[in-house]
Structure formats: C-alpha cells, structure tokens
Structure 1
Amino acid sequence: MAEARQHRSRWVRGLLWLGGTVSLALAALGVVLPGLPTTPFVLLAAACYAQASPRLHQWMLNHRWIGPMLRDWERDRSLTRRSKTVAVLSMAVMVSLSIWSFRGRVAVQLVLLATAAVGAWVVLRLPTRKR
C-alpha cells in the first residue's frame, strides 16, 4: 500500500485530499443538519486521506470522537447491532421532525422520506458485528 501511495501523482493525491476535505466538511454539517448523514462522509474522508495524506488519516484515527468508530471500521468492516439501531432510530427521529416542520410541502417531505430510506438501507445492509 505504501508503494501505491508513492507512485500516485501529485494531481491524484491532491484530488483525494480535496475529496477527503469535502467529505469531512459534509460530515460536520451532518451533525447539525437533519437528513444529512455523518458516518458515510467520515468513512469516505478517512479512505481518501489514507491514500492522499497518511498524516491526516492518522489524525482522524486518533481523534477523540471519530477515532474509535474509524478504528473499529478499519479493523472489522462492520457495525454492532447497537450502532445500527442508534443510527436508524436517530435518523428516523430527525427526519420525522423535519417532515413535520415542512408540513404542507409534500414534495419536500417526500424527498426527506426518500433520503432517509436510502440512509437506513445503507446502514442496515452493512455487516453486523458480534459484540
């Protein structure tokens, strides 16, 4: 893997760094915006940084809040049943509140419902890890 990183052009590393940075920014927005997922963007940022900037990847692995999730993901490539339950239930609560706040705007409500369904589908299709 280190050899592959060394052979990547500066241009490719720059694009991967940009992708990781945009993904991390979207993950930060996902913390406060209902309906915007956080975890997939954190995982994407880590994958991009692993290829473009080992220093930033290491920073993410050692981060107090996202580090444990990333280390678990990189080790097992799965989520615990509890993590899946918390993720889907918190999405359901936040999307329900959002749908309620957009009452009377059926198109917006349908978009929120569709994005929540996709988010739940992504989480539920990931492998489940035993404790």
Structure 2
Amino acid sequence: MKIFFVTLGLLSLGLGLAGILLPLLPATPFFLLSAYLFARSSKPLHDWMLAHRIFGPIIQNWRENKSISLYGKVSAMIAIFATFIISILLDVPSHVLLIQGVTLSLVSLFILTRNAPPKNDA
C-alpha cells in the first residue's frame, strides 16, 4: 500500500509542478495532496516537502491555520481571471463558459474567504 501512496504522491507532485506553468491546472491542491500521501507512505519525501522553500510554507499554513497567503490568493485570482479571458478569446462555446464561470466563481469564493496566515513576531 505504501508504494501505491508514494506513486500517487509523486504523480500529484508532478501535476502540482505542471500547475505552476499551466493556468488551468491548480498547483497548491496537488502539493497538499502529495504531502498527505507522503505522510502515509514516505517519511523522507514528506520531510522533504515540509522543508522545501516553496512547498513547505504552503503546506504548513494550510495544515496549521487552513490559510492561504496573500501572494497565493493574488496568484490564484490572476490565473483564474486569465483562464476565463483566454476562454472568451478562444471563442469557447457559451455553455462551457457558463460551467467555467460558475466553477471558477466558486473556487474564487473559497480562496478569498480563507484567512491569511498569522504574522510572525520573530
């Protein structure tokens, strides 16, 4: 079972890395899923993700506070807006735009209603 979770974790990590470059693919949920899967299957990979300069803070903020940084929120909103504009420019059928608009609106609502991480007093 551990090998199955490691494999899924690596696949999820790969999708997260692709999501950094592809506006339609969200990166953060895949990083969170990878951390979850590695926590159940590979301590070295889990520890690596938590110590990573990019993934670590995202995972810790979510795990401890269910929060998303301002940078993360702004980046997500830009990607969501760009995705919808590109779809309009590509003349995507109206029923697809409607589905996309509803979905992206709900995702935006979720993201924007998450708290910001607490400030460090250090």
Q: Which bin holds the TM-score, normalised by the shorter protein?
A: 0.7 to 0.9
What TM-score, normalized to structure 1? 0.71
Report what 2:90 is aligned to: 102
Report what 1:74 is aligned to: 63
Summarize the Cα distance change of 1:83–1:104 in structure 2 as closer, same or farther, 3 Å threshold.
closer
Question: How much has 1:48 moved relative to structure 2?
Answer: 0.6
Contact 1:91 1:116 in 2 (8 A): no
Report what 1:117 is aligned to: 105
Instruction: Give identity over the alignment, percent.
Output: 28
Report what 1:4 is aligned to: none
Aligned partners of 1:84 and 1:72: how far apart in 2? 11
Contact 1:43 1:70 in 2 (8 A): yes
Report what 2:22 is aligned to: 33
Deviation digits for residues 32-64 of structure 1 (CA, Å, limit 9, x no counterpart): 222211111111111111111110011111112
What TM-score, normalized to structure 2? 0.76
Summarize the Cα distance change of 1:118–1:91 in structure 2 as closer, same or farther, 3 Å threshold.
farther
Question: How much has 1:106 moved relative to structure 2?
Answer: 2.9
Q: Tell me, which stretches of 5 or more residues in structure 1 are unaligned?
A: 1-10
Summarize the Cα distance change of 1:66–1:115 in structure 2 as closer, same or farther, 3 Å threshold.
same
Aligned partners of 2:80 and 2:72: how far apart in 1? 12
